[in-house]
Structures are given as structure tokens and as C-alpha cells.
Structure 1
Amino acid sequence: MRSFYPLYIVLLVGIIITSCGSNPYTKTNRIYKKQVKNYSKKLQQFPTRENQNESALNYGEYWVGTTNFNMRKPNYVVLHHTAQDSVGQTLNTFTLPRTQVSSHYVIAKNGEIYHMLDDYFRAWHGGAGKWGNNTDLNSSSLGIEIDNNGKEQFTDLQIISLIDILKVLKDKYNIPAENFIGHSDIAPSRKVDPNANFPWERLAEEGFGLWYDEAEVKTLKLEAEFFKPNPLAIHLNTRLNNRIPFIDKLVFPEVIPADFNIENALKIIGFDTSDLEAAKSAFKLHFIQKNLEQPFGTYDLKVLYIMHKKYL
């Protein structure tokens, strides 16, 4: 009888250890598998002659299945910050049916990646939004959530893991560089993620998103700046009047025309300008990342001019 207790204790400890080491999302994983199975059954329901005849549509005499098709593929990646307190809270949120939100990937602060949904499935991460003429980004994009409360810096481990994911996705689905965008880009009046700490320039250097050259911004001039009277212009007119052939050696800065249209430029990039001020704010959040409370200024205008040409 005495030997029973040590054995019982060992078994109990073993059960506890096994329980602690098991996946806490086993139950929701079973629900995931069940839903995938149901969708799989739907895809295998062929339009037979019998159920075609039950339709009011004027079908042909027999069903003909094409041999030329494949799976739909994502063409955008939309990046988010979670705006929650921990990766655990986010994973829990994305496994509760009542929240009605999800994402394909979640990246923890330590760089761990949680792949929550197959890339070919439609996640509920973008909500109501628009990019160019696309009004259903959920159907054509992958959502990546990064554990961040919305105010803090992103960790180096997170960004390293993010870049690793993006490399795989870009190569696998042939996603264009300009199609790596933020939630605030597609929903400027509703969202501000990823926040101003997000390293868009670093991502662009890796081929995910577009960016600009700071030196180009410095040399770019507004038409009003370039053509106002100044000593150089007076000197130039004098030399031209004296017909001294040195004009070809001059390098003139690029000039933004006076009729440059901010709204059209934002549209060319992809922003929804139905709320123009929100679109301008979203542009600043992505491409300027400072002085966000200030009105759209000369520097912002110059960056917008450069960026809209990249998207043409």
C-alpha cells in the first residue's frame, strides 16, 4: 500500500506536466479544422445536371468543368499593430467567435510567429477600407499583426521576423513592392496602425513598400520658390543678354508646378480621398512619421510629389 502513493504522485505530476505543456488552443484548433473541412466539402460540390435542372437559370444540356484554374492568391500585405497588451491577449481575441476579427500572422515581441490562418483563406483584418479601386482588401490581402500597444517601439526581433515573412510571401505570391501597405493606408479615417514608430523606410530598403531619397526632397523646389526674383536670376539674365554660352552647364532643380493637385496625387498612390484631411494624415503617418499634428506643409508636399511619381 505504501508503494502506491509514490507511483500515484509520479503519475499525477506527469499528467500536470503534460497538461501544462499542451497547446492551450487545442479546442479552437479543432474548430478551425472543422471549418476547413466544411469549406472543402463545398468546393467538391460539382454542378451536376440534376441540381442544374433545379435552377431557374437556362443551363446547357450538361455540365462542363474547365481544366484551367488554380487557387486564388493574395496580392497585398496589410500590416497592423495589435493595440493590445500582449501577444497572448491578441491570440485569445482572434480565437473568440464574438470578436469577428482575425489575421493570417501574429508576431510576438520576441520574434515568434503565429501563423493563424492559411494564406489562401480570407481573414477579417482590414474591415471597411479602400486602396485604389479595391474596396475589399480582405479578399485580396494577407494580414500581419505585430504585438504592439500602439505607442511603443517595435522590437528588432519583431522586424527581423517580419522581414523574413515578407520575403517568403513576396516570392511565393509575386506581390509587387508597392502592395505592402498599412491598415491606416486603407482606412485613413478609422485606423492609425501601424504607428509612427514603424520602420517603413527599412522595409522599403528590403523591397517591401516604396520610399524616397531625402536628398531629392532637399533639392526639389516649389514653383513659387524657384521663380521669385533673386540675385542669381538677375545675374543669369545679365549673362544671357550678353550671349555667353554657359547655359548648358547649369543644373536646374526639379520644380513642383503651381497647379500640382494634392488630392489627385494621393489617389494615384492609392489613398481614399473621400475624406481628404484623413488621407493627408494617413500619408504623413506612413511617409513623414513626425509633426503629425501639424498641417500639411511644404516638406510634406515635396515628399508627396516624389512619391506620387513612383506610383504612376
Structure 2
Amino acid sequence: MNTMKPYPRLMLWVMAATIYSCAPKPYATTNKVYRQQAKQYAGMLKVQPAPVPADGAPTVVNWIGTTNFNMRKPNYVIIHHTAQGSCDSTFRTFTLPRTQVSAHYVICGDGTINHMLNDYLRAWHAGLSKWGNVTDMNSCSIGIELDNNGLVPFQPQQINSLLVLLDSLKHRYNIPAANFIGHGDIAPSRKVDPSAYFPWQQLAEKGFGLWYGDTAKIILPVDFNSKRALRIVGYDTRDTTAAIKAFKRHFIPADSTTGTELNEGEKKILFSLMEQSE
């Protein structure tokens, strides 16, 4: 029989709650800064733009606010690996102003999904990059970092969490399958993430990214040009060697460390992807 009176038990609960609320929260300071910055940007959105004068045109007297608008939405997802030793190291990097780098999501090795920035806000994850005609990938994409040093395979639970997150983002923002790409794809001269260990085929089978089928029956056109095909897929071909390496790392990882030329079989893969991209 429990002889403990209700009041002592209530006091224990109150004490426990008090201790928890007073416990140090490692990112309380940066969370406060986040709220302050978000409030600042919200204030900027409320400001009525000043009229733009033009020679020979009457001066606009009134601000006429349209009622037909919404938030800009992301249209790409860029996948990275952190190249750091742990999720905690990445959190520190992404909350130090001097690093000037961030992402919307960080997925730890145990599959935990950490949301670090509102999807509608512009994270600093892509850097100097290009995909097709888009030269400011930060402004139109969501950045996802996977806790991995780039030298080992990704954890199954981590990829499972990534698939769940990608499914949510794809349906929420109507992101095309072809627009799920890697950091190394959009910055081939600078980046290699998410490394040749990343399971792009597994993602493509779920509708996140392009892939190819049986290419044995493909007959390449006589005038097939690999550089042009890479450009049609989306790669920045100003450095053709880097573009070929990035292409291999994504679509032919087993051959990604050897050679900078494409054999006939690899050209057929590229041709198949080019046809899907046109």
C-alpha cells in the first residue's frame, strides 16, 4: 500500500520541474538571436516600399498594396555531408556568426532530424554554385546536412530519416524529382559532398532525384557531345574535368575515383539523364 501523502509527491514534481527549467540550455543564446533576427526581417516585410521615380513620368502618390501574394517557396533540395566529427560540432559551426555557414536541417547518425531554420528563409549552405541557369542556389533551395565525414557509408537510420524528410518537403513545396541534388553537383570545382558513399539510386527509386535504367540498348547519336549533355543535365561545365568527376560521383560512384573521361557505357548513362532533363 502506498502511504506517501499527495503533497510531498507534488512537491517532488515541482522541484523536478524547477531544476529542469533552470538547467543550462546550450543554444538558448543563439535561439534568442534567431528570434530577434526573424522579428527584424518581419518588420522589413511590413514596410511599404518607397515610390520609384522615373524621368518624364508622374510621381506615384499612393502605395497600392496587392492582396495577391504569398511567401516564396524553395524549389530545390541540396544534400551535404558535414565533414565534421559529430552533430554537436556542426551545431556549434552553424551557430557561430563568424563561420557564415548554415543549413535548414541536420540529420545525425542516429536518425535524429534537427530543424535549424525556417524553410522559407535563406540558409547559407550552397555558397558559390550553379545549376543550369540558376546562379544563386541559396535563394531557391533547402539545405540538408548529414552527419558524416565523407569517408564512410551513411547510417541506415540516417537515410531512413532523410527519406521521410524529403517526402515531406517534396509534397509541401511541390519540388520536382530532378531538383534533389548534391552540393558537389552544384559546386563541382569546390565540393565533393555528399560523397561517393551516398545512396543516390535509393533516393531516386523513391522519387528524389534522377536515375537511369538499362542503357545497353541505347545507341548514341553520332554527334553526341558529353560537355553539352552535362550542361543540359545541369552541371557547370566551365571546368569540364570537375563536372565529369561530380557526375561520376553521383551516378557512377564505383568509377568516381578513376579517370576524368567517360567511356561509352558512361556516355549512355549521361545520354539517358540528358533526355530526362530536356
TM-score normalised to structure 2 length:
0.89
Per-residue deviation, residues 131-173 of structure 1 (Å, max 9, x unmatched):
0000000000000000001111100111111001111100000
1:311–1:36 CA distance, 2 compared to 1 (3 A): same
1:158–1:34 CA distance, 2 compared to 1 (3 A): same
Letter in 1 for 2:39: K
**Secondary structure at the counterpart of residue 301 of structure 1:** helix
Partner of 2:199: 199
Letter in 2 for 1:259: D
Letter in 1 for 2:145: E
Distance across 1 between alignment mates of 2:18 and 2:256: 52
Which of 246, 257, 280 aligns to 2:221? It is 257
Partner of 1:18: 20
Partner of 2:253: 289
Larger deviation, residues 62-71 vs 182-191: 62-71
**Secondary structure at the counterpart of residue 142 of structure 1:** strand
1:17–1:157 CA distance, 2 compared to 1 (3 A): farther
Pairwise CA distance, 1:76: 0.2
Distance across 2 between alignment mates of 1:277 and 1:41: 46
Partner of 2:274: 308
Per-residue deviation, residues 159-211 of structure 1 (Å, max 9, x unmatched):
11100111110000000000000000000000000011101000001000011
Pairwise CA distance, 1:56: 5.2
Matches within 5 A, 1:26-65: 26-47=28-49, 52=51, 59-65=59-65
Per-residue deviation, residues 13-44 of structure 1 (Å, max 9, x unmatched):
96995378553111100000000000011111
Distance across 2 between alignment mates of 1:65 and 1:89: 45
Per-residue deviation, residues 106-128 of structure 1 (Å, max 9, x unmatched):
00000001100000000000000
Segments of structure 1 that go 5 or more residues without pairing to the other structure are: 1-9, 221-253
1:259–1:74 CA distance, 2 compared to 1 (3 A): same
**Secondary structure at the counterpart of residue 181 of structure 1:** strand
Asked whether 1:108 is paired with 2:123, we answer no
Letter in 1 for 2:255: N
Matches within 5 A, 1:165-180: 165-180=165-180
Distance across 2 between alignment mates of 1:194 and 1:21: 36
Larger deviation, residues 57-66 vs 135-144: 57-66
TM-score normalised to structure 1 length:
0.79
The alignment of Structure 1 onto Structure 2 pairs a total of residues equal to 260
Larger radius of gyration: 1
Per-residue deviation, residues 50-100 of structure 1 (Å, max 9, x unmatched):
x54xx7556412111111111000000000000000000001100000000
1:261–1:63 CA distance, 2 compared to 1 (3 A): same
**Secondary structure at the counterpart of residue 114 of structure 1:** strand
Larger deviation, residues 283-292 vs 72-81: 283-292
Asked whether 1:271 is paired with 2:235, we answer yes
Letter in 2 for 1:165: L
Letter in 2 for 1:278: A
Segments of structure 2 that go 5 or more residues without pairing to the other structure are: 1-11
Q: Which runs of 4+ in 1 moved over 4 A?
A: 13-17, 19-22, 55-58
Distance across 2 between alignment mates of 1:291 and 1:174: 33
1:72–1:60 CA distance, 2 compared to 1 (3 A): same
Partner of 2:264: 298
1:84–1:170 CA distance, 2 compared to 1 (3 A): same
